[in-house]
Structure 1
């Protein structure tokens, strides 16, 4: 994917205190399709697909993940697991996917 554009999807995590908050925020910044099911399996499915987005290297930039980690530690670990799995399992030759966490 040499020369492919890098496309950042910046997510403000200051109001993400629950898994449903995360689903809403990530769906908005990644332009998830209407069929997104707002659960961990659907999150994985969307993050390993991204076919609705233009070709390029897509980067989810999550600002303030500590807010969810502090408010819902189990939810944060579950989301982190799905994000890690999605990055590891991503195979689209026209797109890339990575995650960057920005903490204060």
Structure 2
């Protein structure tokens, strides 16, 4: 789901049903419409999140807000990978002021 929110382009990253890193990478790739060359590893994710040229076209000039929902089951299933994902999200947001990543605490519906 994408829409305009306060000037930033909103992308909802729904992790409902995600149980491993491969599924997480697939969800991120689909949600952000990443190019086919996206490597589906942590470094490629960090680079893609920080690279405005691969963001959805509408977001390049306005900034990007990623809302992650349905993340708790994945965090509980694979806490080490989830901590790495959080580090990647935080690093990308630190490198790119036009990027904001938030975790939704409500349900995924």
- Counterpart in 2 of 1:26? 28
Q: Which has the higher contact order (CA 8 A, sep 6+)?
A: 1
Matching of residue 87 in structure 1 with residue 93 in structure 2: yes
Separation in 2, partners of 1:17, 1:102:
18
**Structure 1 residue ranges (4+ consecutive) displaced by more than 3 angstroms after TM superposition:** none
| 1:8-23 map, 5 Å | 8-23=10-25
Q: How many residues matched?
A: 97
| 1:1-104 map, 5 Å | 5-52=7-54, 53-54=56-57, 55-90=61-96, 96-104=98-106
Separation in 1, partners of 2:92, 2:11:
16
Separation in 1, partners of 2:105, 2:21:
18
Query: Gaps spanning 5+ residues in structure 2: where?
Result: 1-5
In angstroms, what is the RMSD of aligned CA positions? 1.5
Query: Residues 3-61 of structure 1: CA distance to partner in whole angstroms, max 9, x if unpaired?
Result: x8311111111111111111000111111111100000000110010313332121111
What secondary structure is seen at the aligned counterpart in 2 of 1:8? strand
Separation in 2, partners of 1:50, 1:67:
29
Structure 2 length normalisation: TM-score? 0.82
